[in-house]
Amino acid sequence: MEITNCQHPNHDSQRIKYVCVDPQCSIPKKIGCADCFLDDHITHIRKTTTQFKDFVNDSIQQINSVEFQQASNSPQKDLEKQIDTELDSCMDCIKQKFNSIKGDLKGQIDSDMIKISDNCTQYQLNMNNELEPFKSTIRNDLHILNQTELNSLVKFYQEAPKIHKHYSKAAEQVQEEKQKIKQKKQKYLAKMRSIMQILLKDFNELMTSKNVQFDDCCDYETPQKQVMSPNKMINLVETARSSRRFPMSQTQKKYFLAAVTKKLE
């Protein structure tokens, strides 16, 4: 059976009405009637039993209403998404730059190859036009040729080495142009490798640099404050104190170092 009246012999069976909620209270019995609280809890913070029960019930409901976000919506997932976005953007930028170099190279090579092709076509056409009359004439017997045709063949005979040298030189020039294109390709490839090596070198230096801080720092802290070590802070304070002729003793340095280190942690 629930006891709703005070059992103290001198409290006239008064109704139990109050609960002591004072944080400083050391009295074991926290509930009682008005006289109980006059005796033991006169200066303490109290609540009526109804107020106490309502507060506890409301607190249980409030705490119970707290919802925990699923892992898929966690800050870690958001951070991973942000990292992926930044990394993709960085890779796209690098890819775009290399594609620009490749496009520039391809454009130049295509233009050079068109020129070479045009030159080869023109050389071949010139050579065919120059040799075709002699091809037709030389098929006939020499004794049936007229004087003009024979003189033309004689002249060709005399100049054939020179003509051969001319077209051989043209063929060599074509090969030289092709070699230049090959060298240009190699130059561009070396340029791309050089750029990649510089990127990797800068990346490795950045990731291994002591100046890169991954500690949680206030957004409003200066870079100097972020990277300043306890010993640097001691030297800074020592300099300021020495200018006023109040240098730090070894004991003061010891205590200051401990305090700074603890604060930085």
pLDDT digits (tens, 9 = 90+) for 182-200: 888 888 888 888 888 888 8
Q: What is the pLDDT of residue 73?
A: 55
Q: Would you state the structure tokens that stand for residue 232, as one six-digit string?
A: 């640097």
Q: What span, in angstroms and rounded, lies between the C-alpha atoms of 47 and 30?
A: 11
| Average pLDDT rounded to a whole number, residues 2-13 | 85
Q: What span, in angstroms and rounded, lies between the C-alpha atoms of 244 and 260?
A: 22
Q: What is the pLDDT of residue 201?
A: 84
The length of the chain is 265
Other Cβ atoms less than 10 A from the Cβ of 99: the count is 11
The pTM score is 0.41
User: Which secondary structure element, helix H or strand E, spans residue 210, and what is its range?
Assistant: none
Q: What does pLDDT average to over the chain?
A: 79
CB 37 within 8 A of CB 52: no
Q: Where are the domains of the chain?
A: 18-64, 108-208, 223-264
* Phi, psi torsion values for 105, nearest 5 degrees: -65, -45
Q: What is the pLDDT of residue 217?
A: 45
DSSP letter for 26, please: -
Res. 34: pLDDT tops 60: yes
Binned at pLDDT 50, 70 and 90, residue 106 comes out as: confident
User: Which secondary structure element, helix H or strand E, spans residue 229, and what is its range?
Assistant: none
Q: What span, in angstroms and rounded, lies between the C-alpha atoms of 203 and 209?
A: 10
| Average pLDDT rounded to a whole number, residues 160-167 | 91
User: For residue 79, with 0-12 CB atoms within 10 Å meaning exposed, 13-18 middle and 19 or more buried, which class applies?
Assistant: exposed
CA 218 to chain centre: 21
Other Cβ atoms less than 10 A from the Cβ of 209: the count is 9
